[in-house]
Amino acid sequence: MQNNCIYLDNNATTKVDSEVIEVMLPYLTDYYGNPSSMHTFGGQVGKAVRTAREQLAAILGADESEIVYTSCGTEGDNAAIRAALLAQPEKRHIVTTQVEHPAVLNVCKQLETQGYSVTYLSVNNQGQLDLDELEASLTGNTALVTIMYANNETGTIFPIEQIGLRVKESGAIFHVDAVQAVGKIPLNMKTSTVDMLTLSGHKLHGPKGIGALYIRRGVRFRPFILGGHQERGRRAGTENVPAIIALGKAAELEMLHLEEAIARERKLRDRLEQTLLATIPDCVVNGDVTQRLPNTTNIGFKYIEGEAILLLLNKYGICASSGSACTSGSLEPSHVLRAMGLPYTTLHGSIRFSLCRYTTEAEIDQVIEVMPSIVERLRALSPFKNDEAGWLQGQEQALAHR
Ligand SMILES: *Cc1c(COP(=O)(O)O)cnc(C)c1O
């Protein structure tokens, strides 16, 4: 097993903070009571869960009663979408975007087979939405608008509050997948137009297998998982206590470090990006560089394959990503970059580096050092360097043979 690497794949998952591990461990060993039990042994666990819920609510500027724990970000997205539709059975239209995470897109696709109509808003070549297109898509039949806060592949941030104002006018419920935003940029539900918001523990230095859905007080909600009375009847099942405790601590630490982390990661990210652009010919940044997560850069290296770059980076112990982890394993280029209408030459050679508060300057230096030779080596092997037409033809042939 390998456990020391230069980890620049933090949008896929993050390292659990050691302080987080420390607070969760006793709930796997000594304090195993059921938080719903009447006895003191269980009750003390219930109290710890309440504290953790307050810690998590604080990072959103929410009330603890507005937090519902889920098993992951994917469950949060599924639950929010189903809840909004169940609460308004008379409405049969959903608005989302072409660049959502599969946890939203695949639910919408299934709903289309069940009589719902779905509008998938387009993005421009910067990955940004057209708010006029959004406004035109909203009707009295629109039950739900579900749009991500920040894109996991490019880091592009959508103007959520501007979108929310338009959604409110239409009377639809507004759900936001904020899995990539929580802990990376400041959020405040007190002054927000968002009705429901999804987050996930393992994207913010908490453990895998825990997430949460924020549900604004007063928003109509119908549970997706039925059973016991946990989570005020909004999500049944005995609480994942150790992970809930851990998520509370992880949220507290993210809040504590937020300002400093934003400044540090942005500086390191910008240095990585600007140096690569300056030292490697024919590469471009994908996505909106003005509205972007401070930890993410997605760079297209023309005429080569992203997967080949990743393999060579891996030899140097550097972890990055091409497209999202959920879609890798197929040679299909990313649906996000495709929606942005990027040319084929950049679509295939795009790499995402995503930093975190543990990323060091020395690690960034290492990447800056090896990348030019990696790209040069691969381009030397590429029969289509500087030949867009030839490249395009090769790609089309490859696709046709699959
Ligand atoms: C990771 C991710 C999810 C899924 O979260 P899980 O906890 O892995 O299920 C959903 N949306 C976005 C934007 C993500 O980055």
What pLDDT, on a 0 to 100 scale, did the predictor assign at position 1?
79
Report whether residue 144 contacts ligand 1, using a CB cutoff of 6 Å: no
Count the Cβ atoms, other than its own, within 10 Å of residue 255. Answer: 14
Question: In angstroms, rounded to a whole number, what is the distance separating the alpha carbons of residues 296 and 310?
Answer: 16
> Catalytic one among 5, 319, 326, 356?
326
What does the pLDDT look like over 193-210, one tens digit per residue? 999 999 999 999 999 999
What does the pLDDT look like over 216-275, one tens digit per residue? 999 999 998 999 999 999 999 999 999 999 999 999 999 999 999 999 999 999 999 999
Radius of gyration of the chain from its Cα atoms, rounded to whole angstroms? 22
Atom of ligand 1 nearest to the CA of 72: 7
What does the pLDDT look like over 331-356, one tens digit per residue? 678 999 999 999 988 899 999 999 99
Task: Give the closest residue (by CA) to ligand 1 atom 15.
Answer: 152
Ligand 1 centroid from CA 77, angstroms:
9
Task: Give the closest residue (by CA) to ligand 1 atom 8.
Answer: 73
Mean pLDDT, range 27-56, rounded to an integer:
97
Mean pLDDT, range 136-145, rounded to an integer:
98
- DSSP letter (8 states) at residue 146: E
pTM of the model: 0.94
What pLDDT, on a 0 to 100 scale, did the predictor assign at position 40?
97
What does the pLDDT look like over 104-121, one tens digit per residue? 999 999 999 999 999 999
Report whether residue 103 contacts ligand 1, using a CB cutoff of 6 Å: yes
What pLDDT, on a 0 to 100 scale, did the predictor assign at position 386?
58
Looking up tokens 């629109």 gives 142
Helices (H), 122-181: 131-137, 160-170
Domains of the chain, earliest start first:
18-254 (3.40.640.10), 258-400 (3.90.1150.10)
Count the Cβ atoms, other than its own, within 10 Å of residue 334. Answer: 25
Site to substitute for ligand 1 among 180, 205, 210, most atoms within 8 A of C-beta: 180
Q: Which amino acid is at 230?
A: Q
Ligand 1 centroid from CA 322, angstroms:
16
What does the pLDDT look like over 130-140, one tens digit per residue? 999 999 999 99
**357: helix, strand or coil:** coil
Q: What b/e string do you get for 200-211 counting C-beta neighbours within 10 Å, with b at 16 or more?
A: bbbbbbbbebbb
Task: Give the closest residue (by CA) to ligand 1 atom 5.
Answer: 73
Atom of ligand 1 nearest to the CA of 11: 15
What pLDDT, on a 0 to 100 scale, did the predictor assign at position 398?
59
What pLDDT, on a 0 to 100 scale, did the predictor assign at position 326?
46
**69: helix, strand or coil:** strand
What pLDDT, on a 0 to 100 scale, did the predictor assign at position 329?
52
